[in-house]
Chain A
Amino acid sequence: MSDKSRARFWLWVAPSSVPLTLLGSIPVLLLAYISLTSFELGYAFTDHRFVGFSNYTRLFSGREVEFWPALSLSIFVTFVSVIAKTALGLGVAVLLNKKLRFEYLATALIILPMAVNPAIAGLMWKLMLSYDFGIINAWLEELGFDKVVWLGQAWALMSVVIVLVWMHFPLSALLILAGLRNIAKDPQEAALMDGCNPRQVFWFIVAPQLLPVIIASSLFQAILAFQAFGPIFTLTGGGPGGATMILPLYIYEAAFGLGTVGLAAAAAIILIAITSALSAGMLVLGGKGQRS
């Protein structure tokens, strides 16, 4: 690219990329610095000790007993919910692609979970899943089953997964639908005329082209699931007894519950590292997809 074009390019891109880079990086650098200190909430900001990497070693070595469980819970929740969200999203996208009669209404309804305030949505699910006052248990009883302690030790994690799937699957559905609509129709029609049945058409022609979109949307969902805070905070608050203490909640507890901001910052940097790795993966794949 010529020098003149390059200058022009920067002129166009600067208004957004410069502020963004600054605004994106300064808080993170500040956070990284805090993670190397023993800063605690309530003391003046200048009143802290530099402790190097000891916050990180404390977290990783298990000295902070709740860190590894928090990390593994996050990984588990992300893994399970992403699979469920993608599968559900794929199914819905395929159905919406069929251009059935109430397509617009269906799309509007499917988008609803994304429109509600996440904290309030968590509270609504908390009420619906309540043992005594929950509508889910009321129905179970009517149908003759036993009531389930949805938010107790055994089921709380599953309830968290259900709520996350509910909240985020519309996004998968929309992204995959966009991907489906972009796939050329001709090869499909040609295959049908040659005698293949629709199922074969789907699995051998459509699906391979859909794969990049599915992977990209899965990674995006993984980022969302890993960071999810609001709904789980109101649904279980990390309980009972730490059964749903995922990493963002651990960070909240450490920073605002105990005031140990330095430690929380270290955990937050770890969280950021993970989501950045996921997003880098997304970019790499997205780049590949664009070129093809």
Chain B
Amino acid sequence: MKTTSIRDLLAEQPVLRDLEPADIDLMAGCSHNEVFAAGTSLAREREVANRFFVVREGHVALELHAPTEPLLIETIGAGDLVGWSWLFPPYRWAYDVEAIERTRVIVIEAACLRDKCDADPAFGYRVMKRFAHVVIDRLHTTQYRLLDLYGAGDVR
């Protein structure tokens, strides 16, 4: 049975396109695989954000805890990134991340990646561009959701 290396797994991820092969190598040095059972927690609000995830299989829910029940922000599935609070201080998760079903992720250690970005600014720039793209996409979809396009139209 052929086992795929972490490097190859990263290279497969659509969300990490635009990164050069050498970039993938660098990132692989900060990464490893993990599996989360359904209902387990990948991150908790206000916890130190010292890592982030690329979802390989399964999907996770981003939630904010509220007094009577958690508020679901959105879900993230295979091929997508989870977490960008590791990018800037105070490096704290903005919400809870919970596995909705059994979920395989690539875990990328944040300090490790930040150090590599600092050491190689060109690499750092490409990483930041990729992230900015992900964030912009996520922002657009969030804005469209706020328009309540399917709604009763109390806003119109």
A in complex with B: no
Interface residues of B (CB under 8 A from A): none
Residues of A within 8 A of B (CB): none
